[in-house]
Every structure is written in structure tokens, then in C-alpha cells.
Amino acid sequence: MSHPIQWCRQAFPPASKWHPEDIPDLSGQIVLVTGGNSGIGFEMIKSLLRKNAKVYLAARSQQKGEEAIRALKEDTGKTAEFLQLDLNDLVAVQRSSQDFAQRESHIDILFINAGIMYPPLDQITAQKYDATFGVNVIGHHLFLRLLYPLLTSPSPLSQSQTSPSRIIWTSSSANLLVNGRLDFSTFTEGPDRRKAGTFDLYGQSKLAQIQLSAYVAKRAAEAGENVVSIAVDPGHIRSDIFRGKKPWYIILYEKFVMYPVSYGVLTPLYAGTAPEALEYNGKYIRPWARPGQPHPSAYDREQQEKLWVWLEEQVKEYL
């Protein structure tokens, strides 16, 4: 089956057999959600709070984060914690991880959820990376590297001390629409980046996230660490991930193909909380909470290692 046809089939999945009400009690669990002030992240936090987790809402804007926390309190009766996180700036990412490490000694579930899609091509990060790849991949890579010791440390409060910590990566079926090989020359400012365009850069960032998820799972297993890493496609969801002016075809796509945000939480929450989802360590789950197949290059160990080495070089001064 061609990758575009596979992408189309994933746009219309069968009804889910799993629902957020199936989440087990999360009392004592420490959960961190990046991009939690709106969209899928906000809805995930709502469900996690209802299941008694202590949840950190990580977002760039303190004002928007606090507004979201107030709305969550009104809806659930419970209060999320705010963590300021600007993935657009590696210095800010470093500062955010230090702040979190002073507040908690362990993470049970890390949702790598924040992301941007189709920002203006002139938009670059503080360190002059492409905005899409910089936020979706480079900023998150540094954040994960700095917080990884908290994922491997023992949980003092969890009722399930032997359960592994989980890293859940919100990827996308857009990984199927690129040629399967990352072009590192497009991730920094220059003619190659502008030639690639925003659509290709977004697809590359989502392929990279699946490669990293699989690679982290393998590294953890080889090191004997009790950490599970799963990449998910949340589905074709109407959220605020789009940046900049939307072209006409995106407006039609949102209206006739996309699902409400409530559908978008199904697959990441399943991966992050369902006991049976642990069998998908290093794998990819598609809508709604079903096993899926990303682009074959996502599981190419040579490409995974090349990406990891490149990212380590970009963030080395912040580690």
C-alpha cells in the first residue's frame, strides 16, 4: 500500500474500543504535558486530573497557562501545576527543566505533545533553527535529555513502584507524506530550508519524533532502564496547531475531514496510561488506540542514530 493511501485510510478510523474513562486511578503519579494550555494537551490534562494524577501543564505563555489551569479547576475541581516552557529557545528549555527538577524528583508520564504546524517560513527559533523542527524536535530533545534522570529515578509516591515510566510522543500521519529521509540542511536557515517549504518540514519533524521514540526505547532497554517510549498519531484533529494564515484547502480539510479535540486524546492517553499499551514500547499507535505502521524509515536504526548524533551536537552546550 502506498504511503499516501495509508495516510488517507488513517483519516477515517473505526470507532474506538478504549475511552478516557478506562484510565486507571493515577493517584501519586507525576505527569508532565508539554503544550498543555490548549488543544489535545488541555483535554488530556482534564482526563488525567479526573483520575487523580498530579499534572504539570507546560506552556510558553504564563497568562494562557494560568487561564487554562483556572478552566481545568472549574471543570474537574482539581488544580494542575504550571511550568513555563518555551521550546523556541534552548536557553529557556534548560531553565524550565531546572525549575521542574527542583520541584519533583520523578516523572511517571511525560507527554511530548507541544508542536507547531505551518508557521510563516520567516519564523525561526532563538538559535536560528527552522521553527517547526526547532520546536517539535530540537527543543523537545533537549527537554527530554535534561529530565531523563527523573524518568529513571524511583517513584516515592506511586502505588505501582515497578511500573515503567512512559514517554509519549505526539507525532502525526504526516510522517507518511515525506520521502523517508531527513534532510538536515533544511533545519537551519538557508535556501534548502526555503525550498523544502513548511509542509515538508512538518512531515520531517513528525518522522523524526517516531525515530527518536523508537531509539529511546532501544537505548533504555539496552541500559536496563525501566522506561517505555511510544509514538502516537492522535488523528486528524481540529486544534490550534496551525500557525499563520490558513490556505483554503486547510480550511476545507478542517471542516470536512478533521475530528473534534475530544477524539485526539484517545490514542495518546491510551499509550500513556493503559496497562496493555506497554506492549507497544518502541512502536507506533494510530487512531483510535490501534497498532499502526509509520513510514518504514522510522525504524531504520542507522537513520535513528544519525538523527540522535545530530541533535546531541545541537544541544551539547545546554546539557
Catalytic annotation, pick one of 206, 270, 280, 284: 206
170: nearest Cα among 56, 270, 81:
270
Q: What is the layout of strands, in order, in the sheet containing 165-170?
A: 81-84, 54-59, 30-34, 109-112, 165-170, 227-232, 284-286, 290-291
The answer to whether residue 206 is catalytic is yes
Catalytic annotation, pick one of 96, 155, 165, 171: 171
Cα angle 7, 257, 272; round to 5: 65
Report the DSSP beta bridge partners of residue 117: 242
Given a contact cutoff of 8 angstroms between Cβ atoms, the answer to whether 139 and 96 are in contact is: no
Catalytic annotation, pick one of 56, 118, 129, 202: 202
Instruction: Report the sign of the C-alpha dihedral through residues 250, 252, 257, 262, in that order.
Output: positive
CA atoms of 134 and 201, how far apart (whole Å): 10
The answer to whether residue 129 is catalytic is no
The answer to whether residue 171 is catalytic is yes
The SS3 of residue 103 is helix
Q: Which amino acids are annotated catalytic? A: 171, 202, 206
